[in-house]
Chain A
Amino acid sequence: MNSLSTAPKLEVEIAGLRLKNPVMPASGTFGYGEEFSPYLDLEQLGAIVTKGISLAPKAGNPMPRLAETPAGMLNAIGLQNVGIEAFCSQKVEFLKNISTPVIVNFFGNTLEEYIEVARRLNEVERVNAVELNISCPNVKAGGIVFGTDPVTAARVVSAVRREVQVPLIVKLSPNVTDIRVMARAVEDAGADAISCINTLTGMAVDLERRCPKLANVTGGLSGPAIKPVALRMVHQVVSSVSIPVIGIGGIMCAEDALEFLLVGARAVQVGTANLVSPSAMADIIVGIEAFLAQRGIENINAWIGSLK
Chain B
Amino acid sequence: MKDCITTILYNRQMAPGYYCMGLAAPGYPQLARPGQFVMLRVNQSYDPLLRRPFGIFRTGTEGLSHPEMGPQDYMEVVYKVVGRGTRLMSHLVAGDEVGLLGPLGQGFCISPDAGGAMRDAVLVGGGIGVVPLFMLAQQLVQRGVKVHLLLGGRNCGDILALAEFERLGVKTSIATDDGTLGEKCFVTQLLKDALQEFSGVQVFACGPTPMLQAVQQICVAVDVELQVSLEAMMACGVGACLGCVVKGRNHKEQRPEYLCTCKQGPVFDARELAWTQEAQAPVSVPGEDRL
Chain A: residues with CB nearer than 8 A to chain B? 28-31, 35-36, 38-39, 56-60, 63-68, 70-73, 75, 77, 80, 223-224, 252, 272, 274-279
The answer to whether B256 and A59 touch across the interface, beta carbons within 8 angstroms, is yes
Complex: A66 Cα to B50 Cα, angstroms: 11
| Chain A residues whose C-beta falls within 8 Å of the C-beta of B240 in the assembled complex | 29-31, 35-36, 274-275
Query: Do A65 and B242 contact each other (CB < 8 Å), given the known contacts A71-B46, A275-B236, A276-B49?
Result: yes
Sample of 30 A–B contacts (CB below 8 Å): A28-B241, A29-B240, A30-B240, A31-B239, A31-B240, A35-B238, A35-B240, A56-B254, A59-B251, A60-B245, A63-B245, A63-B281, A64-B233, A65-B245, A66-B243, A66-B244, A67-B291, A68-B291, A71-B49, A77-B241, A223-B46, A224-B46, A224-B49, A252-B46, A274-B236, A274-B240, A275-B235, A275-B240, A277-B41, A278-B2
B234, B235, B246: most-surrounded residue (chain A CB, <10 A): B235
| Chain A residues whose C-beta falls within 8 Å of the C-beta of B49 in the assembled complex | 68, 71-73, 223-224, 272, 276
B63 proximal to A (CB < 8 A): no
Q: State the majority secondary structure of interface residues on B.
A: loop
Interface residues in B168-209 (C-beta closer than 8 Å to A)? none
B60 proximal to A (CB < 8 A): no
B27 proximal to A (CB < 8 A): no
B211 proximal to A (CB < 8 A): no
Complex: A72 Cα to B45 Cα, angstroms: 11
Chain B: residues with CB nearer than 8 A to chain A? 2-3, 41, 46-51, 99, 101, 232-236, 238-246, 251, 253-256, 258, 263, 281, 283, 291
How far, in Å, is A97 (CB) from chain B's closest CB? 19
Q: How many A-B residue pairs have CB under 8 A?
A: 101
B281 touches which of A64, A67, A80 (Cβ 8 Å): A64
**CB-CB nearest 4 A-B residue pairs:** A59-B256, A63-B281, A68-B291, A66-B243
The answer to whether A278 and B99 touch across the interface, beta carbons within 8 angstroms, is no
The answer to whether B256 and A58 touch across the interface, beta carbons within 8 angstroms, is yes
A68 touches which of B50, B246, B263, B281 (Cβ 8 Å): B50
| Chain A residues whose C-beta falls within 8 Å of the C-beta of B47 in the assembled complex | 70-71
Query: Do A66 and B238 contact each other (CB < 8 Å), given the known contacts A60-B258, A223-B49, A276-B50?
Result: no
CB-CB nearest in chain A for B283: A64
A39, A58, A66: most-surrounded residue (chain B CB, <10 A): A66
The answer to whether B258 and A80 touch across the interface, beta carbons within 8 angstroms, is yes
| Chain A residues whose C-beta falls within 8 Å of the C-beta of B246 in the assembled complex | 63
The answer to whether B256 and A36 touch across the interface, beta carbons within 8 angstroms, is no
CB-CB nearest in chain B for A33: B240
Complex: A72 Cα to B234 Cα, angstroms: 14
CB-CB nearest in chain B for A32: B240
| Chain B residues whose C-beta falls within 8 Å of the C-beta of A68 in the assembled complex | 48-50, 291
